[in-house]
Structures are given as structure tokens and as C-alpha cells.
Structure 1
Amino acid sequence: MVDVDPRCAMCGISQEDTMHALVLCDFAKNIWNKSNLTIPNIVTNVFHDWFGELLNVLDSDGMLYAAAILYNVWRARNRAVWEATLPRPEMVLKAAAAAKLAWTRAHPLPTARTTTLPIEPVQLQGEFGLHGVELHTAETPHGPPRRLCRVDGGFMQGTGQAIFGAVLLDTNGGYVSAYSGPLQGCSSPLMAEALACKEALSWLKDRGEQNAEIYTDCLTLHHYLTTPTVVLRTYLGYAIDSCRFNASSFQSCSFHLIPRLDNYLAHALATTAYQQFAAMYWDLLPPDIISAYF
């Protein structure tokens, strides 16, 4: 029988469990503080509860960085156990950044990836009750024209300010309309992306559009929107349910993932919204920030 010291090998004070080792230990906490990520401020000793909240506040890029940090904090913990040494927090963050970069280079996003919502009716449960929603993407050559809408949301961590931008194009890439403005009630980049999509869908509906393809560069949002079995009992979940419900009112509506660099029109438009106090529309000519592209 081997006696095992239950104390944390990194701080030598508290009894170690998963939540302490990866999040609550002073060593781990120092690393998270230096990461500049939005970390959920919840009182819990259960790691999967904390991690579930992390999924709600970070976008796909942030989650990839967070996963790399968790892995390297655990490696640092193992060095403390077996070698009685600890790297500096800055070195852990450098290793995490290198791991994130290596992963993204090994798993590049395709130039275009399309995922449509299921043709069969999907039961969506959320704030709005239980809906039998049929979403499809069939072409309707004799109906309203098909439009391409690129959407982007932004969140400024220091001030909590959130904004959105949406650009509507025809199937040849020609300019149709644009829409941008501030967002209310945001607490994270992922929330901003979800509310930006919700705003864009409401705008398209008010315009009378019937056949829309929505393009986002947020991998996590795209996953939620195209996976009907995912149900989140959070404010973010209600925003995603709203997107799905609004999409069901179109003759056809689909969600697509594109690389961030290819979403430059919506991103450029969104960045200007930090100086706006209300939503703005451009129906005849594109705004100056993107006019050079048309």
C-alpha cells in the first residue's frame, strides 16, 4: 500500500482535485488571468460545470486556446509531481499558444464548407416552447431570389460593448444591402456572434427575403445552429433557439461556415458599429467602409 499525499503539488496547500489543479490553484489561476480569455465567474468545485460555462462564453478560437491551456497546466502539474519543478506561467502560455498554432495548421478550415439544416422536421425545445420546425434548402427557381448574407459579431472585453455587421449579396456576389449596429445584453464573443445572427435573420425577414444562406466564421455558433439536438438552458441557448425559429419562417434557409479571412465584408462593417448609437441600413449604395469591394 502506497501513501499518496492528497495536497496539490503546485501550491502545497489545498487538497487536489480536478477543479483545483486546472482552475483554482494559485498557479493555474495566475495562468488563466494572464491568458486574457473571458473566464466564467461561477462558484463551483465541479470541473464539468465550469467547463460547460466556458463553452457558453468563448468562441471557437477561444475554446481552442483554453483547451491548449488546460493541457499544458496538467503537464505542469505532472512536472511538479514527478520532477518537483514548475515552469513559469508565461512559459505555460507560450506552450499553449504553440500547441494551438500547431493544431490550426494541421486542421485548416476549408475555403468553403456548407452544412444545411435537416430536411426532416426537427423538434426544438427552448424558451419559446416546443416547435415542430421544418427547415430545408431546396432551390426555388420561380420564387424569390436566393441571397447570401455574411454576418459578424464583435465584443470588446474591456468595456463589454458588443456590435454586429451583416452584408447581403446576390448569388453573383453583387451588393444588395447592409446592416450594422450595437448589441445589448452581451457577455462574451460567442453571445455577440449568436445575437448578430439573430439580428441578421430578423432584418432579412423584415426585408421580405425568402431564400437565404447565412455565412458565419464562428465555428461554435455554426455547430449549435446545425445540430438541433444541442439544447442550452442559458441566455445563449435562447438566442440560438431564436435563430433557429426565425430561420424556419423562410422558404429556405441554411447556415454556412467560412474562414474568418473570407468574412472581411461583415467584419469591416461590424467594426465601424463601435462608433454607432443605433442600427444603420444601406439599401442603395454600400457604406464607405466596404464600397471599394464593389
Structure 2
Amino acid sequence: MVSCPFAVSCWNKSFPGSQSIHTQVLEVWLEKMFGKYSDNKYADIVTLCWALWRARNDVVWEKKYSRVNRVIASAKQYLLRWKCAPVTCSSVLFRFVVEEDGAITWVRPTRNSIKVTVDATLFAERREYGLGIVARDADGLLVEAKIKCYSGTVTVEYVEALGIKEALSWIKNKGWQEVKLESDCLAVVQAIRCTVEMQSSFGQVVADCRRELRDSNSISLLFIKRSANVVTHCFARASHRYPDRTFDWSDIPIEFQDCIQMESI
């Protein structure tokens, strides 16, 4: 778990500070890791232990070998799903506007349709913000992905709304039919669904989204949990490294391939 070269590569990539811990005893190593990182990282450490153990079992029992990025992605995906598991439809504190809202895992679209997920992120220290938009088919395969990066200081709600607007324009230009467009920003999804006019830059983007949706009878906008939007979040976070790029499966960076495959299982 701590001396295997493959495991060490996983730890070094996920927790660069682990390189300074020198011991072969797992209990001692974990104690030092917990002392080195804050308690909000404990679950990440334990989950990566679990993912490494599962990868080890795959090698021993099924002769299946994995890659570092895939093991790390599986740990993050499992943890996100676990965190969302306590949320049930009986909760009276949280009500969705549409019955299909609130998916906690990514679900493949029906045959002859496309699912587009969108996410946004802020790079406050760089005074930039980025978008990730990912389209996949009924087999969970990547149709195309789009990344954009902008300069400026804006609110997260504005960027999330801008992402939905960009996705709607992209879908229209592609001529795709029967599309489900998903965002993990409930506030923006609800703002687009309501009819309140807002006199602001955010309100203008929301109005543009409403107009695009009215003009199309084949696009439905849904809210999903962050745990169902892992892949697109990865694209958004990488937008400053791949600004204004469009990918298909033939040229997608390997760092995204494992996330897509894991989320499509």
C-alpha cells in the first residue's frame, strides 16, 4: 500500500506531500498522513487506500492492470457517490422542480439521443474563469467536448449561466436532436425555468438561455448533483491549460479518458 511503486505514484500524484513520509509500516504511514493533512482530506486518503486495494485484487485475481489516473479517478468517483448516498427523496428540506432532477450519478441517455453536461469554474488568483461542455451518446462514448477560458472577475452563478448558454448555442450549431442538457448549479437552472426578469448581466444571460430553450423543442434542461458531473468538472478545471479547444475521442488528452470511462460504467 505504501511501498509498491505503482501505489507510490498514486499517492505522489494525489498528495504531493506524501513524498516526505518515509516508512514501510502502513499504520505509521497513515498516522503521519493524518497529521500532515487537515481532517477534510481524511476521507480522500482512506478512499484512495480502498481504490489501491481494489486495483491490487484486480491484478491478483483477474490479471487486470490499471493506470495511475484511473485508480485516482475511481477513488474520487466512489467518494462523491458515498457523500451523496444519504440524500433521499423523502427529504423535506430539498425539493426539485422537475421529477428528473437530482441525479447523483451520470446516466447514459436513451438510444438516438445525446446528453450534454456543462460545468464552470473560477480561477480567482488568475482573474480567469472557464467552462467545460461534454457531449456523450447512449453508449457512454464521447461525441465531442468543448473547453473555453475567459479573463475577468465574475460570480460563479454568472459563469454557470454562461456555460449553459454556450452549450445551447453549441447544440444548435451541431444540429443535434433529442438532447438532455445537465448542470449541477440548481440556482441557475431554477432561474432559467422561472419567468422573473432580472436587470443584470446575469439576468441577460439567463434571458438568452430561456430564448434558446423556447426556440428548441428537443432540448431539456435538468439539474444534477456534482457527483454526476465529475467528467465535465475535470474539463472545466483544465480550461486554463486547454483554452478554446474542442476534442473528440481521437485527440482527447489521456487525463480525461479515465474519468470518462469510469463515469460511463
Q: TM-score range by the shorter chain?
A: 0.5 to 0.7
Q: Distance in 2 between matches of 1:245 and 1:280?
A: 26
Following superposition, the deviation at residue 108 of structure 1 comes to: 6.8
Residue 275 of structure 1 and its aligned partner are, at CA, apart by: 2.2
Q: Which residue of 2 aligns with 1:147?
A: 114
Q: Give SS of 1:178's match.
A: strand
Contact 2:193 2:210 in 1 (8 A): no
| Residues 218 and 226 of structure 1, relative CA distance in 2, 3 Å threshold | same
Equivalent in the alignment of 1:201: 168
Any stretches of 5+ residues in structure 2 without a counterpart? 1-85, 102-109
Partner Cα separation in structure 1 for residue 196 and residue 141 of structure 2? 35
Deviation of 1:113 after TM superposition, in Å, equals 5.4
The structure-2 alpha-carbon separation of the partners of 1:267 and 1:234, relative to structure 1 and needing over 3 Å to count, comes to same
Q: Name the structure 1 match of 2:158.
A: 191
Following superposition, the deviation at residue 246 of structure 1 comes to 2.0
CA contact (8 A) 1:183 1:192 kept: no
What is the CA distance between 1:274 and its match in structure 2?
A: 1.8
State how far apart, in whole Å, the 1-side matches of 2:214 and 2:152 are: 24
The residue number in structure 1 matching 2:100 is 114
Query: Aligned residue for 1:226?
Result: 193
Alpha-carbon distance in 1 for matches of 2:99, 2:236: 23
When normalised by structure 1's length, the TM-score is 0.49
Match of 1:289 in 2: 255
- Is 1:147–1:171's contact at 8 Å kept on the other side of the alignment? yes
Count of matched residue pairs: 162
Confirm whether residue 237 of structure 1 aligns to residue 195 of structure 2. no
Alignment TM-score, normalising by the size of structure 2: 0.54
Change in CA separation of 1:184 and 1:212 when aligned onto 2, cut-off 3 Å: farther
Tell me if the contact between 2:182 and 2:222 (Cα under 8 Å) persists in the aligned partners.
yes
Q: CA contact under 8 A between 2:133 and 2:235: conserved in structure 1?
A: yes
User: Which residue does the alignment assign to 1:256?
Assistant: 222
- Give the superposition deviation at 1:186: 5.1
Cα shift at 1:173: 2.4
The alignment partner of 2:202 has SS state of helix
- Residues 72-221 of structure 1 correspond to what in structure 2 (within 5 A)? 107=93, 114=100, 145-183=112-150, 187-221=154-188
| CA RMSD of superposed structures (Å) | 2.9
- Identity of matched residues, %: 24
Partner of 1:273: 239
Q: Secondary structure at the match of 1:274?
A: coil
Output the CA distance in 2 between the equivalents of 1:169 and 1:109: 28
Letter paired with 1:282 = F
Name the one with the larger helix percent.
2
Structure 2 residue identity aligned to 1:160 = R
Letter in 2 for 1:223: Q
Q: Is the alpha carbon distance of 1:210 and 1:183 closer, same or farther for their aligned partners in structure 2, counting shifts above 3 Å?
A: farther
